[in-house]
Amino acid sequence: MTVNQRQMANAIRALAMDAIQAANSGHPGMPMGMADVATVLYSDFLKFDPADPKWPDRDRFVLSAGHGSMLAYATLHLTGYARPTMDNIRNFRQLHSPCAGHPENFELEGVEATTGPLGQGLAMAVGMAIAERHLNAVFGDDLVDHKTWVVAGDGCLMEGINHEAIGLAGHLGLGRLNVLWDDNRITIDGAVDLSSSEDIAARYAATGWHVVKCDGHDFDDIKRAMAEAVADPRPSLIACHTIIGYGAPNKQGSSKVHGSPLGDEEIAATRQQLGWDSAPFEVPDDILSAWRALGAKGASAKSEWQDRLSNSSKKTEFTRRTTGDVDSTAAMSAYKAQLAVDLPKAATRKSSEMALGPLTEAFPELLGGSADLTGSNNTKTSFTKPLNKDDYSGRYIYYGIREFGMAAAMNGMALHGGVVPFGGTFMIFSDYARPAIRLSALQGLRVVYVLTHDSIGQGEDGPTHQPVEQLQSLRMIPNLEVFRPCDAIEVAECWQLALERKDGPSVLALSRQDLAMVRTSVDSNLSAKGAYRIQTAGTARKVVLIATGSEVALATEVAAQLEAKGIGADVVSMPSMTRFLAQDAAYRNDVLPDDGTLRVSIEAGTTFGWSDITGSNGLHIGLDRFGASAPGKVLMDHFGFSADKITPQIIAKLG
């Protein structure tokens, strides 16, 4: 007997309701409502190969409505991915099951992105689509020719990041991006019209998108709409009018099926309604075979692609970029040697631009940008021409005033592979991007955030623009490497460390104001261990001054005053607090001896968290209040960041 698409879709519905019921937790409504749409997508449009989930030219599928994770787990299992197994699905939302409550890219191959925070999946898909178009422009259709598909719900389209993401996608003309909107008119609170009355289709059209509608339960109509989207040169929103919880006779179409298990009685009624008489977690052989046949289709497309790659003159470079290895030693050695000769006095934001010169020249996979602050963030070099809809080969994106959208798009680029994204904004606006920065860290993505104007030293813009708590709050994010370099040599070292780190994101916290060179040696990357002794006490050591960024030079001035009074003082530069704390005890004890020496932290930001470094008896020179509007030098002195004001505090502390 021939298996029809409705039966295949019902397999998704059955697995979703059974897994969620077993867990007594989850969201059955979306996977049951979008099962028909997913079946058409996998049957007729999606290019994938379960035997090789990381095949570079596969289509990307992002479940932006991550609460409906069982849609992803069901389709992955049914099409023949090695995982999730049926046992994994039986243990949905349980400890150690890869079938987490929301899809996690590090748990299952085939899950392209960690989703759940609504809107971010769609925004990451924009980044994937950018990476695809860029790599296509570089390597051609033979090696890069795929699409990005997204399933998004009303929540994804309501979140503010959606506005940023679709504006960028429309502006760049990302025609390979197709969003399947689960237009079921229901949110957790109830009907969408409780909270929203906007014309979503008009909003998308206004940003340069193609919009098409379909009946999300009519297979022919779904296929028609997807075909129109694929044919249109613009990014497409496919509004799939669906019934949430489709098939549950007493709960479908209501918020009751959004975020709660159906219950045994409703599941029994749903099985009868769907004509599904298999036991829980069982899929009839003929239906499973039909799904597996879909999974097998991708093998020939992948094989043909592998043949093209093998015969391509660009194979070596393509493989290098998709592998993602970056060894910047050769590219940076001459540059750093010249720094040791020139000893430039420059803001570290300018030093970053200087370092990016040889890096962007040597590594064409570096793709930069800025959230409308290019001239302030100094993220553009002569090697990074603009990327736009007329020339996707460019390597610099003008993101506009879209900090959150930029950060999420960079996550998508990193997930796609083949590019290493970096982007800039003021450090204070990292708060706008923070949810995406957190997802960079959670997903283990190599994304570099260039955050300039990193303290009250930025001056006249005043307390709204002067970060106080941001630096330490970023250090609190697990797996986020935060670097605050003190001069041009440390900037170069930190850029190298950020680019060579493949398993997580990095922040470069950079100054607006010029900083004198403190380092003169470039023999080794001293920043690699997070902190090091940059100046040794000239007399018997009684104090260790620990500083970051713009305050390292200040610490050397304090040390000079202390030494003049017969008080020996080491100066330690700590470009990365977390990296230092990860060193072995012997190294940490050498840099910060546990011999009763007074430890003094100096950083133009909150003192919160510095006791982890100084101990309970340390002295913290910082700023535990908001700033003010005045020239940077005036503010630094006003708030106590001068040798004349710090030295007496240390002497008083020593008693």
Residues marked active site are found at 403
Alpha carbon 302 to its chain centroid, in Å, reads 28
Is residue 105 within 8 A of residue 112, CB to CB? The reply is: yes
Residue 284: other Cβ atoms inside 10 A = 15
Residue 463 has which token pair? 């307390």
Is residue 322 within 8 A of residue 56, CB to CB? The reply is: yes
Residues near 339 by beta carbon (within 8 Å), at least 6 away in sequence? 488, 489, 492, 517, 522
Q: How close are the terminal C-alpha atoms of the chain, in Å?
A: 91
Q: Which of 401, 28, 429 is nearest to 248 (CA)?
A: 28
Strand pairing class (190-191; 186-187): antiparallel
Residue 605 has which token pair? 């930001």
The whole-angstrom separation of Cα 174 and Cα 204 is: 13
Handedness of CA 70, 73, 79, 85 (dihedral sign): negative
In 24-62, which residue ranges form alpha helices assigned H by DSSP?
Answer: 29-33, 35-40
The DSSP result for 218-251, as a single string, is: -HHHHHHHHHHHHHSSS-EEEEEE--TTTT-TTT
Specify the DSSP class assigned to residue 610: T
Interior/surface letters 440-476, b for 16+ CB within 10 angstroms, e for the rest: bbbbbbbbbbbbbbbbbbbbeeeeebbbbebbbbbbe
Which residue type sits at 299? A
The whole-angstrom separation of Cα 512 and Cα 638 is: 18
The DSSP result for 104-154, as a single string, is: -TTT-TT--S---STTHHHHHHHHHHHHHHHHHHHH-TTT----EEEEE-H
Residue 248 has which token pair? 């549950």
Is residue 348 within 8 A of residue 492, CB to CB? The reply is: no
Q: Which of 457, 458, 412, 406 is nearest to 434 (CA)?
A: 406
Residues near 304 by beta carbon (within 8 Å), at least 6 away in sequence? none
Which residue type sits at 146? H
The whole-angstrom separation of Cα 379 and Cα 373 is: 9
The whole-angstrom separation of Cα 185 and Cα 191 is: 6
Q: Is 400 helix (H, G, I), strand (E, B) or coil?
A: coil
What is the dihedral angle through the alpha carbons of 643, 649, 650, 654, rounded to the nearest 10 degrees? 160
Residue 434 has which token pair? 């923070």
Q: Which of 626, 610, 617, 635 is nearest to 550 (CA)?
A: 635
The whole-angstrom separation of Cα 460 and Cα 478 is: 33
Residues near 105 by beta carbon (within 8 Å), at least 6 away in sequence? 111, 112, 113, 114, 415, 443
